[in-house]
Chains A and B, each alone.
Chain A
Amino acid sequence: MIPDMSQQGGDEPIAQADSPAILLDHVSKWYGQVVGLNDVSIAISGGVTGVLGMNGAGKSTLFKLLCGRIKPNQGTLRLFGINPWQSTSPFSKIGYVSESERLHDWMTGLEFVSTFARLHGLSREEAVKQAERVIEFVGLTDVMNKRIGKYSKGMRQRIKIAHALVNDPELIILDEPLQGCDPLARTTIMNVIRELGAQGRTVLVSSHILQEIERITEQIVILHRGRLLALGNLHAIRSMLDEHPHSIRLTCDNPRGIAHALVENDLVDGLVFESDESLVIKTHHLGDMHAQLPAVIHESGVRVTGIDNPDDNLESILQYLTRGDS
């Protein structure tokens, strides 16, 4: 038997009752001069939470803190009421999917999941049984005896999720689970995540694509440059945004010609000429505007080569949200 050298006490309760799955209290983490997380305080328990942010916003830093890969420089962090650097016991209730693509390519999917299940203290038979269960759950049963090295990207993501679920965790942390997957794999993984949320587990999903998170959950956390920017229901945040005009960008050979046709439209709140080839329409009624646009364009006779919504991404939401600060 190996003595536990970090702990004074031997048998302590694995979790304390009524403590939230995740509790961050004024947590900061920096790497040299670069700030990873800046004074973040959150408590999360139950349901699927999407963590949104641009690259470098601190999503991965947050997740690495949560799974005990890195230490906070300031503040306290508790998983089920326990500091993961004091005791590794909370990890028995956590499943972590890292952003890294690297896996043990030499193992088969089943070996991979069952071997690491055994690190949770399961017996060999029990581990294989649980592994087969979670592999079926993520839909990889037919390839579970192939080497991971031969898996496609979507399969690799799913086997990572299976690995995280094998200990029947109460808290599941998924760092960019949809990264690099084709639409089919995306849909499968999103279904898996929704299903997990429906089972009453706490699920954290990070992404930098708003639409992805939108399809999974309504509860979101937005991080920006290491700071907590928004926290709560996606709809509430969205409606805040709706008070602000949306933009539609038209790419065409004669912007002024089409502007002429648009000026009289009630839905239009403003028009901006970005360049000789593009026109930005400001509106509060995005859906209606999109419905009317084809007719307007057709009538004007202007040749339009592109229509897009510069607003409809995280960047513009962030821009909007941070405009108040600065």
Chain B
Amino acid sequence: MTEKKSRYSGVDKKAAALTGFTIRQMRTKLSTWAVMGVGMLAILMVLLFHVDAQTRTIEDIDNDLDSYDFDGDGYPNGQEVRWLTDIRDPDDHPGLINSSITPDDPSLYINEDGFDWDIDSSSLQSVGKDDDGDCEHPEAGEMVTDSQKDSNGNGIPCDIQVRWSEIEGKWQSKSDIGVDEDPDEDEYFHEAMHRAFIIGFGKVGFVLLIGIFLPLFLATGLIRQEIENETLHYLVSKPIHRAEVLIYRLLGFLAIAIPYIAILVILSALVVGFAAPGDSFFRIQDLGIWLGIMLASWLMVIVYGAIFMVFGMVHRFGMIAAIILGVWEFVLAMITLADPSLFIARLSVVFWGMTIVDACASMIYPNTPLLIAQGRSISGGDDFSALTGYISSPNNLPGTEALNSFWNSPSLGFSPFITLLISVFVLLAMMISMLFIGQAIFKGKEIS
């Protein structure tokens, strides 16, 4: 019984041979190492900035100015407010009401009223607690009515009304005067920066920069370089289908790109995880987002690899087209970062990669919009000027804007997990259709 010789015989051997050939060819090129080295350096540099930010201590800010003593009577403003004495009148202080009251240490009135929000998924709710007594006025008793304590007018004294705005896609808060108005900046900053960094770094550093430039440098020449070197016929004048040549060349590129990305992501995950704020030694929770970033970057190099390889194969001006496509993706990436709900953003590859990261971030840290709302609720604006006559801190809490600029809720209108699946599917479909078009062109291409 002789072995039946079919066209499929030895397909795996051919795949191994051509893939291995491509890997070795790339390894011998200096430019491969230069590109990957520069990518590694850039990643390390940004990580350095992050570690620096995480080890920095943010100076405590007295957001409501209640550790000051405006009238110089020895009692800090916060203490006077609790007793309803005039903070600007040195002859009116709690010691006059009850001589046993001695002035408090002013440092007690810094970071004394942090966030204690406990939010469920319902859209309108009341949260928050007045930790320092500048709303509840426990010492003043009946002198302050409930309606005076209810400046946001939701009928509940000393609370914060939080509601989910479907239109704007974010939480909005309206607080009673003196509730959760002086949180710990350092704690907030490190948490917000931690999340902002993973998301921003994942989307801009990995999905956009590595995702576009690695294939642009390494995959565009997969076929084009063989054509220009007049060595393509060594590959195609063989008992092998041309679609196979395309796929195995791409596989060879991926065999270098995928471990490279994995190493970079793992390295970043380790550095960021150990530098993460919180009590635990290493933040395991992040790994979900890092996996999403890895998946997204992998899919990006697969899709762009297929696109750029086919561009290079079709025509010698395909390289110019590849550069122009790269610029197009760059512009749409900027749009995606700014507002992913714009439809035009979906006409890019990078949108779908960034959406994967967004979806994973939404699944791991679903309360991030709330964190942004919290950072924004300390605007120091109207709430305190009514109380103190001063605007204490005109800005949001440090880190809020960084988090806000990179955080995007998945914009497709589905749950994060479904969004993730759709994005992966779209990217895979792009890759497959590109390869299909590519092999159809390649099959009829003359190599002279």
Contacts and interface: CB of A to CB of B under 8 A. Distances in A.
A123 B10 CA distance: 8
A256 interface: no
B3 to A, nearest CB: 12
B96 interface: no
A31 B448 CA distance: 11
B25 A96 contact: no
A6 B444 CA distance: 10
Interface in A51-84: 64, 67-71
B121 interface: no
A106 B28 contact: yes
Contacts of B102: none
Interface in A117-152: 118-124, 127
A124 B447 CA distance: 28
B247 to A, nearest CB: 6
A217 B9 CA distance: 37
Contacts of A71: 444, 446
Interface centre among A2, A88, A163 (most CB of B within 10 A): A2
Contact of A11 (B6, B16, B234, B446): B6
Q: Chain B: interface residue count, which band?
A: 35 or more
A2 B243 contact: yes
A92 interface: yes
Interface in A88-110: 88-92, 94, 96, 98, 100, 102-104, 106-107
A11 B4 CA distance: 9
Nearest to A102: B230
A106 B32 CA distance: 14
B447 to A, nearest CB: 5
Interface in B87-125: none
Nearest to A3: B243
A115 B243 contact: no
Nearest to A66: B237
A10 interface: yes
A7 interface: yes
Contacts of B229: 102
A54 B446 CA distance: 24
Contacts of A11: 4, 6-8
Contact of A94 (B24, B237, B242, B443): B237
A163 B233 CA distance: 12
A116 interface: yes
Query: Looking at A6, A31, A89, A118, which has the most chain B CB atoms within 10 Å of its CB?
Result: A118
Contact of B439 (A5, A90, A111): A5
A210 interface: no
Interface string B1-34: 0001111111101111110110011001000000
A104 B233 contact: no
A118 B231 contact: no
Contacts of A118: 13-14, 16-17
B230 A69 contact: no
Nearest to B245: A119
Nearest to A103: B231
Given A14-B5, A89-B239, A116 B28 contact: no
B235 to A, nearest CB: 7
A10 B25 contact: no
Interface string B403-421: 0000000000000000000
Contacts of B21: 115
A103 B16 CA distance: 21
B17 to A, nearest CB: 3
B240 interface: yes
Nearest to A111: B24
A163 to B, nearest CB: 7
Give 3 nearest A-B pairs by CB, closest first.
A121-B10, A118-B17, A92-B239
Given A69-B448, A100-B231, 19 more contacts: A2-B15, A5-B243, A5-B443, A6-B243, A7-B7, A10-B7, A12-B7, A71-B446, A89-B7, A90-B239, A91-B237, A91-B238, A92-B239, A103-B231, A104-B25, A106-B28, A115-B21, A116-B234, A119-B239
13 contacts: A4-B7, A4-B8, A11-B7, A31-B448, A67-B237, A68-B236, A87-B7, A91-B238, A115-B21, A116-B238, A120-B239, A123-B13, A124-B17
Interface of B: 4-11, 13-18, 20-21, 24-25, 28, 229-231, 233-244, 247, 439, 443-444, 446-448
Interface of A: 1-2, 4-7, 10-12, 14, 31, 64, 67-71, 85, 87-92, 94, 96, 98, 100, 102-104, 106-107, 111, 115-116, 118-124, 127, 163
